[in-house]
Copies of this chain bind each other. A is one copy, B any other.
Amino acid sequence: MSKLTGKVLIAQGGGPTAVINQSMVGAVLESRKFPEVTRVYGAMYGVRGIVNEDFLDLTQETTHNLEQVALTPSSALLSTRDKPDAAYCAEIFKVCQAHDVRYFFYIGGNDSADTVRIVNQNAESAGYDMRCIHIPKTIDNDLVVNDHTPGYGSAARFVAQAFMGFNLDNRALPGVFIGVVMGRNAGFLTAAASLGKKYPDDGPHCVYVPEHAFSTEQFLGDVKNALDAHGRCVVAVSEGIVDEKKQPVVVGLTGRIEKDAHGNVQLSGTGELGTMLGELVKTRLKVKRVRADTLGYMQRSFLGVVSDVDAHEAREVGEKAAQFAIWHDIDGSITIQRTGNYSVDYRIVSLEEIAAKTKTMAAEHLTAGGNDTTVEFFNYARPLLGSGFPTSHRIRALTVSKILKSGN
């Protein structure tokens, strides 16, 4: 099949990541190499910018500035929480047709893949030749078929470094510390809290993810065990933990229900879950020093903590999107496949395989009790954090004999 001549349109959807601009810049620069590509447009504010025809002409942006943008976290083309229905997707297609867009690249999670799938159907039904590619992105790491997703490695690195610090702080000033991590359905990011553990008594001492039903009694028992063993306890918990009835724990503890445009309970941007769990520990275990922090938006947007492995792969999935679409004339979703320890390759799969599906943690990544991660998880996730990962060191000097209290 001869290559389609026309425009490329690229957009970014959903929550930002530290490396989402790598994917955008990869797709843009690779697309600009093809003479068939007459223009590369970027839609502002994701799909909303498409229906509003809010386009920037990225063909005329300098390569050097694009390379700088690639190093900047958060969606440079801005984003949206809109989740297009059939009518919205038909609008997207109409705009693509009007602008002679022949290659549509959308960077996002499983909802974005679903949008690409429907737009692709619209184009097919209309007999309009347009390649539609979904470029994976999510700190939640919850796309099926993929070994992991761009954005996860850098967010996981941030969470791991944060908990290394929480653990040191908690060791210096003992008590119970609860750190609340992003993750609605999948616990991958919360599990990353344990990736910086080094010494045998390092925290987090217990880890709670949405994959296991959260039990208040198990939680209090786990905290008590850590206190008995170490005189302190660091807890990592997903914002999305649910009880046995699959109800978010934050709803059960606070009674509050605020829903977003997708009909999901708001979990981020509030410290309530941590505060409520902290209150439980204070009142039930009579622990005086209890602190709870919610890691919040820093996990996905912090400037200065990026996994080089993640940045590299994010760049490549963008480049691959352009290559599969323009060289090979294929629709689909770019996926990351692990081929060695540690190496990856990229495959394009049908949009149906990815769209609107959610992957959760493998059973082997969690202990039987569901309250800690396993060495299998460590081996899976550690390479994704990249090089130059910091480590902590302790003093190992000998104890001095007491003089005044020598009887102790």
Contact status B16-A168, CB under 8 Å: yes
Contact status A390-B271, CB under 8 Å: no
Contacts of A54 in B (CB 8 A): 399
Q: A72-B168, A74-B165, A303-B390 are in contact. Are A297 and B397 (CB under 8 A)?
A: no
Q: A172-B79, A399-B55 are in contact. Are A297 and B302 (CB under 8 A)?
A: no
Contacts of A59 in B (CB 8 A): 397
A99 at the interface (CB under 8 A from B): yes
Q: A172-B16, A272-B271 are in contact. Are A165 and B301 (CB under 8 A)?
A: yes
**Within the complex, which residue of B164, B172, B300 is in contact with A78, where a contact is CB–CB below 8 Å?**
B172
- For residue A126, give the distance in angstroms from its CB to the closest CB of chain B: 15
- The digit string for A44-81, where 1 denotes a CB below 8 A from any CB of B, is 00000000111111111100011011011111111111
Contact status A398-B68, CB under 8 Å: no
A293 at the interface (CB under 8 A from B): yes
Contact status B161-A196, CB under 8 Å: no
Contact status A270-B269, CB under 8 Å: no
Interfacial residues of chain A within 283-308, with CB under 8 A of chain B in the complex: 290-298, 300-305
**Within the complex, which residue of B80, B98, B398 is in contact with A404, where a contact is CB–CB below 8 Å?**
B98
Contact status B304-A397, CB under 8 Å: no
A171 at the interface (CB under 8 A from B): yes
Contacts of A68 in B (CB 8 A): 393
- For residue A111, give the distance in angstroms from its CB to the closest CB of chain B: 14
Contact status A302-B162, CB under 8 Å: yes
Alpha-carbon gap, A32 to B165, bound state (A): 29
Q: A269-B293, A271-B294, A275-B271 are in contact. Are A395 and B303 (CB under 8 A)?
A: no
A87 at the interface (CB under 8 A from B): no
Q: A77-B395, A397-B61 are in contact. Are A53 and B290 (CB under 8 A)?
A: no
- The digit string for A259-272, where 1 denotes a CB below 8 A from any CB of B, is 00000000011111
Interfacial residues of chain A within 365-398, with CB under 8 A of chain B in the complex: 390, 392-398
Alpha-carbon gap, A224 to B94, bound state (A): 37
A362 at the interface (CB under 8 A from B): no
**Within the complex, which residue of B98, B166, B304 is in contact with A301, where a contact is CB–CB below 8 Å?**
B166
- For residue A65, give the distance in angstroms from its CB to the closest CB of chain B: 6
Contact status B56-A171, CB under 8 Å: no
Across the interface, name the chain B residue whose C-beta is closest to A175.
Answer: B269
Q: 12 interchain pairs (CB within 8 A)?
A: A55-B400, A56-B397, A73-B168, A94-B404, A161-B302, A162-B303, A177-B269, A270-B274, A271-B274, A294-B296, A304-B305, A304-B390
Extra 12 A-B pairs, beta carbons < 8 Å, given A78-B172, A268-B291, A270-B271: A57-B398, A57-B399, A61-B395, A61-B396, A69-B394, A74-B168, A79-B173, A80-B173, A271-B274, A291-B297, A294-B294, A304-B305
Closest 10 CB pairs of A and B: A271-B271, A269-B291, A293-B296, A74-B168, A165-B301, A55-B400, A68-B393, A56-B397, A53-B402, A169-B301
